[in-house]
Amino acid sequence: MYRVIAVVGCGLAVAACSSTSDWMGAFKPAPLLDTVRFESTPPGADVKTSNGQTCRTPCALALPTESPLTATFTLNGYLPDTETLDPIANTGSAAALQPNPVLVELEPAPPPPKPVRPAKKPAPKKKVSAVKPAAPKPAAGAPMAAPPAAAAPAQSQAASPWPAPPAPQR
């Protein structure tokens, strides 16, 4: 029976060591923080650090000094700018982030490009028909001229290189 109690006790001790409870967090040191001031020209730019903290210039943030961070400045009408904050170990004191303060001069954004309008296609040209216009009608009361078809056979016979056919008999 003592063996069973010893095995169960050891099992519970091993299980307790593998999990970390909230009360164990009290023994962990808090990350070292450095207060960094942010300023921009023009003022009013939004600052967002790589660890998620944000503010609007001029402002200050308490940032951890464990690793390098980036700070991105954005303002409508200006190009965004990004600055890197590096931790610097100071002898005899806590680490600090450099540069501090972070000063940024934002450049105006270029105007947006004008929208390109598609070139207008020229209207298709109207086809000219090969039909000749009709002959003008004679005015009322004017004598009618002989139809032009009657004159055409005489001209075509004279101009033809072939012998003329015999005249029809009546």
User: What are the domain boundaries of the chain?
Assistant: 30-105
The model carries a pTM of 0.51
- Cα distance between residue 118 and residue 61, in whole Å: 50
- Cα distance between residue 63 and residue 52, in whole Å: 10
Contact 106, 131 (CB under 8 A): no
Neighbour tally for 88: CB within 10 Å:
13
Contact 137, 125 (CB under 8 A): no
Alpha helices (runs of H) in 43-126, residue ranges in sequence order: none
pLDDT reported for residue 80: 92
Neighbour tally for 81: CB within 10 Å:
16
- Using one digit for the tens of pLDDT, what is the confidence trace for 78-127? 999 999 999 888 777 778 888 888 999 999 988 878 887 777 777 777 76
